[in-house]
Amino acid sequence: MFNKETYVKRRAELKKLVGSGIIILFGNNESPANFPANGYYPFRQDSSFLYYFGQQRDGLIGVIDIDNDTETLVGDDIDIEDIVWYGSVDSVKDMADAVGVANTVNMKGLKTICNNALRDRRKVHFLPPYRADIKIQIFDLFGIHPNQQKESASMDLIHAVVKMRSTKTQEEIEELERAAVIGYKMHTTAMILARPGVTEKFVGGQLDGIAQSYGSMVAFPTIFSQHGEIMHGNPSMAVLESGRLALCDCGAETINHYCSDNTRTFPVNGKFTQRQLEIYKVVEECHDAALKYAKPGVKYADVHFAICRILFDRMKELGLAKGDTEAAVAAGAHAMFLPHGLGHMMGMDVHDMESFDQINVGFDEETRPNLEQFGTNCLRMGRRLEEGFVVTDEPGIYFIPALIDEWRAKKHCAEFLNFDRLDEYKDFGGIRLEDDLLITKDGCRFIGKDRIPYHPKDVEDFIAANRK
């Protein structure tokens, strides 16, 4: 938790932005595994509830009455049975006091608050729910069917929360830096442990352990695979092989639930082949170019397409692509190699605020997504950058056999791609590099004091120096 004043100021700002009505921010409940009493651990609180009310216990709800300028923490105190099994915890009143909330009621009291609001025809603001139990709770409180709750969520509240959470304060940046320290430990451990004969699962399990031992949990399920062409390749029992590349995409959450998100791709045996190096250097160039382009006032969609043009030019030099680069990118031919966007917002969620829909987070009235074009439809962040934003920079090049075959059969972008040459790379896999960028007053910088090695020589030297 941050200090009390942080949460008081956040809620005061939220009231100003939303204007009127009553705001209900649902915290999360325990998620059962196989049986209601078997909670899935570790518990993860809802990020927006954490942002405004700071408390990590399950079964809490925050109520902000804008018109009457009152705030209430809703929750039931635990009973002796819970204390026997889980130990004593702060009372709801003590938790409220810790974040500057004056009022508390038990869960039954929430129904009264909501009934009064409905009786007085007041606007009730809630965020789009993403858990089934919260959807049921909203149905019980307001009679809104779960299928209609996303549309019934308050756009005023969504826009206000996005505005506030998008711009990171100094204390949030410090927390993100702490997450980066854990991420550095995870990635450098992967480079050290990965070697021929070791399983993907072993390496991935070690990384998860680091995240839990230094923070609260992994920021997202760890991706570690020799099949880098699979965007989200989970660790399997496959044995690492000499001559192949391992792609590691992982991160951690701090105790206060701020994330890191980095990707590195490195040779299993510690040495890049010439062919691997040729592709790797293209990704490296794209990754570093984003650092030059990303600054306040620039659309991140423009940074994305600038990277796509660089990538396509280099693919032409390697004989894998052809034709006019501008026309090729306009047609989406670059998505053969890069079928996702350059990056996304990051903070308390690794895809920050994604439960609000990316169109409300990564885009705005000025910048709209293109949902029709393959690859471009996966661009999560396109809007103008502002000082204090944190975004990921994650270009990649992937050779996906099924995609190559499908586009060849359909003659899709055939005027821009050399399919015979692409066939030679079906066994290549994929390469991605990713770092977290803080948008500064006049540019951007990496999050994290220590740089996870990514320049080819640095990667090889680090592996040679640290593997025993």
Together in a domain, 145 and 236 = no
- What is the percent of the chain where pLDDT is above 70? 100
Together in a domain, 92 and 143 = yes
Interatomic CA distance for residues 108 and 112, integer angstroms: 7
Together in a domain, 193 and 120 = no
Q: How confident is the model at residue 20 (pLDDT cuts 50, 70, 90)?
A: very high
Interatomic CA distance for residues 262 and 190, integer angstroms: 12
Structural tokens at position 359: 């169109």
Torsion of CA 250, 255, 257, 259, to 10 degrees: -30
Asked if residue 275 lies in contact with residue 236, where contact means CB atoms within 8 angstroms, the answer is no
Q: Which amino acid is at 307?
A: I
**Domain final residue, candidates 137, 166, 195:** 166
Together in a domain, 250 and 325 = yes
What is the average per-residue pLDDT within 378-406?
Answer: 98
Residues near 191 by beta carbon (within 8 Å), at least 6 away in sequence = 248, 264, 266, 453, 459, 462, 463, 466
Q: Is 108 exposed, middle or buried (0-12, 13-18, 19+ CB in 10 A)?
A: exposed
What is the average per-residue pLDDT within 440-454?
Answer: 96
> Which CATH number do you get for residue 76?
3.40.350.10
Structural tokens at position 60: 């809490």
Host domain of residue 127: 4-166
Residues near 58 by beta carbon (within 8 Å), at least 6 away in sequence = 27, 28, 29, 30, 39, 43, 45
Interatomic CA distance for residues 338 and 311, integer angstroms: 9
The pLDDT value recorded for residue 96 is 98
Together in a domain, 88 and 192 = no
Element (H, E) at 446: strand 444-446
> Which CATH number do you get for residue 395?
3.90.230.10
Q: Does the pLDDT at position 161 exceed 90?
A: yes
Considering only residues 89 and 331, tell me which one the structure prediction assigns the higher pLDDT: 331
What is the average per-residue pLDDT within 153-163?
Answer: 98
Together in a domain, 153 and 290 = no
Asked if residue 269 lies in contact with residue 195, where contact means CB atoms within 8 angstroms, the answer is yes
In total, how many domains does the chain have? Answer: 2
Q: How confident is the model at residue 256 (pLDDT cuts 50, 70, 90)?
A: very high
Asked if residue 320 lies in contact with residue 425, where contact means CB atoms within 8 angstroms, the answer is yes
CA-closest candidate to residue 174, choices 54, 258, 277, 241 = 258
- What is the percent of the chain where pLDDT is above 90? 94
Q: Is the dihedral of CA 419, 420, 421, 424 positive or negative?
A: positive
Q: Name the E strands within 184-257.
A: 217-218, 223-225, 245-250, 252-253
**Domain final residue, candidates 166, 195, 217:** 166
The pLDDT value recorded for residue 282 is 98
**Domain final residue, candidates 141, 166, 191:** 166
The pLDDT value recorded for residue 106 is 96
Considering only residues 92 and 37, tell me which one the structure prediction assigns the higher pLDDT: 92
Q: Is 214 exposed, middle or buried (0-12, 13-18, 19+ CB in 10 A)?
A: middle
Q: Kindly report which listed range (30-39, 66-75, 157-166) carries the lowest average pLDDT score.
A: 30-39
Together in a domain, 396 and 270 = yes
Together in a domain, 117 and 227 = no
Interatomic CA distance for residues 393 and 291, integer angstroms: 8
CA-closest candidate to residue 141, choices 229, 61, 243 = 61
The pLDDT value recorded for residue 395 is 98
Q: Is 350 exposed, middle or buried (0-12, 13-18, 19+ CB in 10 A)?
A: buried
Together in a domain, 193 and 152 = no
Q: Is 364 exposed, middle or buried (0-12, 13-18, 19+ CB in 10 A)?
A: middle
In whole numbers, what is the pLDDT of the chain averaged over residues? 96
- Could you tell me the CA-to-CA distances from 94 to 106, 110, 217, 276, 405 in Å, in that order? 14, 19, 26, 57, 61
List phi, psi (to 5°) of 60: -120, 150
Together in a domain, 176 and 81 = no
The pLDDT value recorded for residue 323 is 98
The pLDDT value recorded for residue 81 is 82
Structural tokens at position 375: 């690859």
Together in a domain, 373 and 457 = yes
Q: Does the pLDDT at position 42 exceed 80?
A: no
Q: Where are the alpha helices (DSSP H) in 35-169?
A: 47-53, 80-86, 92-98, 107-119, 132-142, 149-152, 155-166
The pLDDT value recorded for residue 354 is 94
Interatomic CA distance for residues 251 and 183, integer angstroms: 5
- Could you tell me the CA-to-CA distances from 404 to 187, 245, 267, 374, 397 in Å, in that order? 31, 20, 24, 14, 13
Interatomic CA distance for residues 208 and 331, integer angstroms: 40
Q: Does the pLDDT at position 24 exceed 80?
A: yes
The pLDDT value recorded for residue 82 is 82
What is the average per-residue pLDDT within 33-43?
Answer: 79
- Could you tell me the CA-to-CA distances from 448 to 113, 224, 346, 359 in Å, in that order? 44, 21, 14, 28
The pLDDT value recorded for residue 38 is 80
The pLDDT value recorded for residue 43 is 86
Interatomic CA distance for residues 164 and 142, integer angstroms: 27
Q: What is the pLDDT of residues 63-113, one digit of tens each?
A: 999 999 999 999 999 888 888 878 888 999 999 999 999 999 999 999 999
What is the average per-residue pLDDT within 45-66?
Answer: 97
Together in a domain, 119 and 192 = no
Q: What is the pLDDT of residues 201-235, one digit of tens each?
A: 999 999 999 999 999 999 999 999 999 999 999 99
Q: How confident is the model at residue 32 (pLDDT cuts 50, 70, 90)?
A: confident
Q: What is the pLDDT of residues 275-310, one digit of tens each?
A: 999 999 999 999 999 999 999 999 999 999 999 999
CA-closest candidate to residue 397, choices 300, 222, 277 = 277
Q: Does the pLDDT at position 468 exceed 90?
A: no
